[in-house]
Structure 1
C-alpha cells in the first residue's frame, strides 16, 4: 500500500451514479463530467466504470482529456466543453464532439470540417443565459441557423446552457429566468433547423432543485464524486476519493520550542506532534496551517501545527493514542472534502482537484 495515496472507491461511484440516475426519468440521458482527472481522481478509471453502468455521454474540458479517455478504450460519445482551434485535427481524429460557443468558433470549425470533407459532424451549441463565461446569445440565433443550414459538414447534436446559481435557492428567480431564456432559444433553433437536437442545462444541484429543466439530458459532476448541493443531499452520497497518508515521525515539543518554518508555532506547554508526508505540493494549501485545518488519526481530529511545508505537515497528537506508521486521513470518510474546504472559505471542487499527480491513486473495487 502506498504511503500517501488517494483511494478511489468504485463502489461509492456506482452508488452515486445510481442515486443521481434515480433523480431523472428513465428516458433522460446522463452526461458524466470527468474533466480535471475526474475531479482529481482518475478519469480513465472512473470513465471505464461509468461506461459499464451505461452512462450516455462524457464531458471533458479540453481535447487532451478526451484523448486520454479514447486511449483508455472509452467509446462512449465525449463532449469537449472548451476546445480550441489548434486542437481541431486531434479532436476529429479521436471522434470527439466540440462545444461551439462563439461566431469565431463556428466559422473556424465549419471551414475545418469542410476542408476535411466531413458530413454532418456532430457539434454542440452553448448559449449564455447568465453565467457570462462562454456561449452564444439569443441575438445570435438567426446567424447560427443560417450557418448550420448552409453547411452539409455539420449537424447540431445538442443545445445547452449552464446554470449560474442552481444550488442557491435565494437565487431561484434568476435561475428560473435562465431556464425560460434557454427554452425560448432552444425552441426557436429547433423550429428553424427542422430537427430537434437534445437539450441539457442542469448540473448536479440543478438536477436536485430544478426537475423541470432536466430536458433530454442532465450533466452531473460533483454528485458523482460524493457531494451534493446541501448537507442533506451529500448524506445520500458516498465520497469516491479518500486522501490518506501515514505518520512518519512523532516529536515531543517542550514549552518554548517552535515548530516548522518561520517558527509559526511556539509551544505554550509540552505537546506531541506527528509529521505526515504530504504538503502543499500535493494540494494541501498553506491556508490550512496553524490550526485552521485538521486530519483524522484513530478517529480523532488532529489540528495542523505550524505552516504547511512543501512535502510535509505537522499535526497535534498530544491527546491521541497513535504510533509512527499509523494511518492518517486528510479527507474522505471521517471528514468530507466539503467540510475541510470550508475551513479556508473554499469548496470541495477545489480541494479535490488540487490533489497532486505525484500522490498515488489506489483503486478500490467492490
Structure 2
C-alpha cells in the first residue's frame, strides 16, 4: 500500500521529507522481528509492559524508514524517515486493516467463541484448500492487534478468508467487526475463558455477537442453551432488518435444527456422525473421538454444507482430517542440537514466526532450516520461493535443506545467496536415505514441513533418545504469568527473575532465553556453574549469583556474573580476586539479614561492611536487598512490617555512608501480590512465574506451565487376590486390569504416591497407583477405563491434575515436586 493511502486510511499527520509514493508491504510491531526493512511500517504500540516508541531507534538502525506513532518524535535523529502521527496507534492499525480489507470483495468467514476457534479455522483450511485460495489468521492471531495483522495478509490472488476474533473486555469486538466484515459467522461455544472483564456469560455472548453485525449466515450449536437464547434474541431484535436479515444455520443433537445430529458412534479412534440436512440422511466419519474435536468437526461440516459441497467430497475430506499442532515444539537433539518442530502451518507468515523463534535460540552458533514445498499457496512457484529465499537470507540462516519437487525446481532462488548453504531433495524419503551423510552438530534445526511430507520421520532420527517420560514446558504460559505480575507493578519498577535450580525444574537456557527476549532486567541463579552455563548458551542479560563460593569468584568475573555478598568474609574474598584481576567498580549485590536469618549482614556488621567498601574501588554496590520470611501469609504481616522497617533503616544507613543510590529489592512472588507498598526499585519473581501463587490471591489468573507425561509399557489382566509390586503391597480386591507405566522415583516421582495415595490420568480419567512406586516404573489400576492400549500417553501432572495436588499428597510444596523431576526426564518446550 502506498504511504499516501496509509495516511488516508488512518487520517494521520504525515511528517516526512520523502515522497508519498513509498510502498509498504510489511507491518511491524516488534523491532526484533524485521525481515524487509525497506518496505516495512513500524507501528509504535504503547502496551502495559513496553512502549513501542522506545524501540523506534532500534528499528531505524535496522533500516526501517516509515513509522506510525502517537507521541512527539525528535525528527532530526532520523534523517530521511517518514512519521505518521495519530492519537492511538492500535486504532490506526485497525483502520488501516479495515481499509485494506475493503479493497477485496470475496467471502470472509469470521469465527468467535470461547474454545475451538483455531481448530475450526485450520480444519476449514484443510477442507477447502482444494476449492479456494485461502487467507487465514496465522496461528491464533485473534486479538485487537492480531486481527488487523491477519487481515493485512490478504492479497489479490485470494478468494476466501477465514479469520478468528476474540475479546478480553467489552467493546473490543466492535473494532474487529469493522476490520473483518464477515459474510459467514461461526460461534463455536461459550465457556469461562477470558471471563474476568464481563459481568456474566450473557454479557460476554452479546459482546461477541457484535462480530456478526453485517453477517449473512451464522453457524452455531443450539444445545448450548444460553448461547441459543442470546443468538435468537440478537437475530430477531438487534438484526431485525428485512433488507439485511441474519440467517441462522443451527445444529443440534437434542432438537430440530438445520443440521440434526441423530447419532455419534465412537469406536477404534474414529467417530461416525449421522445427521439429516434438507430432508436427506447424511454421514461423516472423523478420525477423532474427543468431544471437543467432534463439536469442531460438526461446525466445519455446517460450513461445507452451506457452501454446497458434494456429500461424497465432504465425507472423503472429513475422513482425512488431521490434528492441528497448536504450537512450536523445542526438543533436545543429538550431538548438542536443538530441534524446533513446527508443522502447524506451511505458509510465509508461519515461516516468519518460526524463524523469529529460531532466532531466539542464542545457545547455538549455527542455524539450519529443513523446509518442504509450500502447498496450496496460490502464488507462482518462482515468486513464492524467491520470497522464501530472501527471508531465509535476511535471517542469517547457515544452511537450508529443501524437500519437494517445487523447491528442487527453484534451486536458483536460494543459490544466488552465496553465504547460504543449500541442499535439495525431491522427497522426504530421499533425504532420509542420505541423512547420515549430513553433519548436524551444535546447531538449532527448524523443521518446517507440510503435513504430507511427514517430517516426523526426520524428527525421530534427529531427536535425542533419553526417556519416554517427558516434561512438556509451555513457554507461552511462562510469558503469560510474567505479564500477570508485570501488570501489578508501577511503571519503572524492575523485575528480577529466578532461574535457579534449573528454573525450578523447568529448564535452563530455554527459560532464560525467553526471559531475556521479554526484556527481563535481571536473572538470578543459585550457583556459579548455573550462571556459566547460561553465558555459554548466549545469555547476555545481567545475572546475579545468590550462593557464590569463594573458590569460584575468578570464574564469576571471567563470565561477567554478579555475586551476592552476604558476609565480611565473602566480601574480602571477592575483593581479593577482583583486585588480582585489576577490576574497577565490579557490580555486587549486598544481602541484608532483616529476620530470615539464613544469609546476610546483620545490623551490627554494617560499619565493618562500610569500611571494607570505602577502602576499595574494585567493586560497586548495584543493589541492596533482603528476603521476607512470611510474605505469603496474613499471620506474618506484623513480622513482614518489622522486616521492612529494618530494611529501610539498614539500606538508608549504607546508602548515606557510601553516598550511593543502588537498586533496592525486598519482595518475592507472594510479596508482589500481598505487599505492593514494598516494591522499591525491583521485585524478585520466582515460583509465581512458574504458575503458583503462594498467597492464592491471583492463582486463577496464572497458567500451569508444565505437563509431565509418560507412556504405558504393558497391560495385564489379573484375578482377584493377586498382588502387584514389591513387598506384595498392592493386593487386588477384584479382577483388575493393570498398566505398567514408564516413570518411577528415579524420575522424581515420589514413593509417597504409591499404594493408592496418588493417581495419574489415562484417557482423561484417574487411575490409582497400585503397589509401591518402583525406581523406573509404577503400576496403575485402569479397570473400567475404555480403549487403553500399550504406548498410550499418561498424564502425571498437568492442567487437569495440577502439581499442587501432588504436593498435597506428599504433604509438601509445589517447589519440591517441580525441582525433584530428574534430569533424565526429557524436557520439551512448546510455544503457542
> 1:154 aligns to what?
619
- Which residue in the other structure is 1:350 paired with? 816
- The residue number in structure 1 matching 2:381 is none
Distance 1:232 1:252 in 2: 46
Q: Does 1:5 align with 2:475?
A: no
Aligned-residue offset at 1:180:
1.1
Shift of 1:125: 0.5
**1:19 — aligned with what?**
484
Question: Counterpart in 2 of 1:106?
Answer: 571
Greater RCO between the two (CA within 8 Å, min separation 6)? 1
**Which segment drifts farther, 175-184 or 224-233?**
224-233
Runs of 5+ consecutive residues of structure 2 not aligned to the other structure: 1-459, 461-466
Question: Residue 147 of structure 1: CA displacement?
Answer: 0.9
Aligned partner of 2:604 in structure 1 is 139
Q: Hey, what does 2:830 align to over in structure 1? A: 364
Aligned to 1:332: 798
- Structure 1: gaps (5+ residues): none
Q: Could you say which structure has the larger radius of gyration?
A: 2
User: Do residues 72 (structure 1) and 537 (structure 2) align?
Assistant: yes
Structure 1 CA distance, aligned partners of 2:695 and 2:756? 26
For normalisation by structure 1, the TM-score amounts to 0.98
Count of matched residue pairs: 366
After superposition, give the CA deviation of every residue in 1:167-190 in whole Å (9 maximum; x if it has no partner). 111111111111111111111111
**Alpha-carbon distance in structure 1 between the residues aligned to 2:692 and 2:804:** 8
The answer to whether structure 1 residue 234 and structure 2 residue 699 are counterparts is yes
CA distance 1:295–1:53, shift in 2 (3 Å): same
Instruction: Tell me which moved more, 271-280 or 319-328.
Output: 319-328
1:87 pairs, out of 552, 566, 574, with 552
Distance in 2 between the 1:178 and 1:319 partners?
55
Partners of 2:745 and 2:682 lie apart in 1 by: 38
1:189 maps to what in 2? 654
Is residue 2:298 matched to residue 1:298? Answer: no
Q: Distance in 2 between matches of 1:232 and 1:3?
A: 36
Q: Distance in 1 between matches of 2:572 and 2:826?
A: 43
**Which residue of structure 2 aligns with residue 267 of structure 1?**
732
Q: Paired residue for 1:60?
A: 525
Cross-structure match for 2:629: 164
2:645 partner SS? helix
Residue 122 of structure 1: aligned partner: 587
Alignment correspondent of 2:159: none
Q: 1:213 to 1:231 in 2, by over 3 A?
A: closer
* 1:198 maps to 2:198: no
8 A Cα contact 2:674 2:695, kept in partner: no
Displacement of 1:253: 2.3
CA separation of 1:4/1:295 partners in 2, compared to 1, >3 Å: closer, same or farther? Answer: same
Alpha-carbon deviation of 1:59? 0.4
> CA–CA distance in 2 between the matches of 1:306 and 1:299?
22
Shift of 1:358: 0.8
Please identify runs of 4+ aligned residues in structure 1 that moved more than 3 A.
none
- 2:221 is aligned to none
State the Cα deviation string for residues 208-248 of structure 1 (Å, max 9, x = none): 11111111000011111111124452221111121111111
**Are residue 223 (structure 1) and residue 688 (structure 2) matched?**
yes
1:264 to partner: Cα distance: 1.1
Q: TM-score, normalised by structure 2?
A: 0.43
Q: How far apart are the structure 1 equivalents of 2:695 and 2:624? A: 28
Cα distance, 1:317 vs. partner?
A: 1.1
CA offsets, 1:45-100, max 9 Å, x none?
Answer: 00001111100000000000000110110000000000001111110100000000
Deviations, residues 132-156 of structure 1 (Å, cap 9, x unaligned): 1111101111111111111111111
Q: Report if the CA contact (8 A) 2:626-2:665 is conserved.
A: yes
Q: Secondary structure at the match of 1:343?
A: helix
Q: Deviations over 1:254-290 (max 9, x none)?
A: 1110000111111121122211101000000111111
CA distance in 2, matches of 1:287, 1:323: 27
Moved more, 316-325 or 300-309: 316-325
SS of alignment partner, residue 302 of structure 1: strand
> Which whole-Å CA distance do the structure 2 matches of 1:77 and 1:135 have between them?
21
Question: Secondary structure at the residue paired with 2:817?
Answer: helix
CA distance in 1, matches of 2:491, 2:717: 59
Which residue of the partner structure matches residue 214 of structure 1? 679
Partner of 2:122: none
Match of 1:256 in 2: 721
Q: Secondary structure at the match of 2:698?
A: helix
Contact preservation (8 Å) 2:673, 2:695: no
Aligned mate of 2:562, from 97, 109, 117: 97
3-state SS of the aligned residue for 1:235?
helix
8 Å contact 2:633–2:695 — kept in the other structure? no
Partner of 2:511: 46
Do the aligned partners of residues 231 and 329 (structure 1) sit closer, same or farther apart at CA in structure 2, a change above 3 Å counting?
farther
Instruction: After superposition, give the CA deviation of every residue in 1:302-341 in whole Å (9 maximum; x if it has no partner).
Output: 1211100000011111122222222111111111111111
